[in-house]
Amino acid sequence: MITKSSVQINKEWDIVGARQMGRELAKDLGFGTVDQARIATAISELARNIYLYAEKGKIAYETVEDMNKKGLKIIASDQGPGINDLSKVMEDGFSTSGGLGAGLPGVKRLMDYFDVVSEPGKGTTITTIKWVR
């Protein structure tokens, strides 16, 4: 059973919708409340980055199964300006928005799998997975 769905990020309010959908999917998959909160927090950060830096994009969700485990894959994609210095963005405390700087390193810590593909001028795709424990 593979479930796929997505939320378009065009305005700030879409961040809330993306977060709610992710939490519902996580709950349906059997994630506990702590992991549901981790997933919702990661989605908030990813959606906020789309809104702040690319203006519009998409958060996509997919249930995944590997061997004897199941999980939730979250793909954040946009056609925004891309990330010029990926290693800088992945440093703890780095912020271009004046935020707390948890950013992408925080998302990486919250999830079990994390991958970034970004091309300046073409956009960014971030893929994360959280496995049900």
pLDDT tens digits along 76-131: 999 999 988 888 888 777 666 655 446 899 899 999 999 999 999 999 999 999 99
Predicted pLDDT at 101: 46
Q: Over 80: is that where the pLDDT of 13 sits?
A: yes
pLDDT above 90 coverage of the chain, percent: 77
Q: What is the pTM of this model?
A: 0.91
Q: Measured between alpha carbons, how far is residue 120 from residues 10, 37, 49 in Å?
A: 20, 31, 15
Predicted pLDDT at 100: 47
Count of domains forming the chain: 1
Domain range for 11 is: 4-131
The CATH number for 114's domain is 3.30.565.10
Sheet holding 113-119, edge to edge: 4-9, 57-66, 69-78, 123-131, 113-119
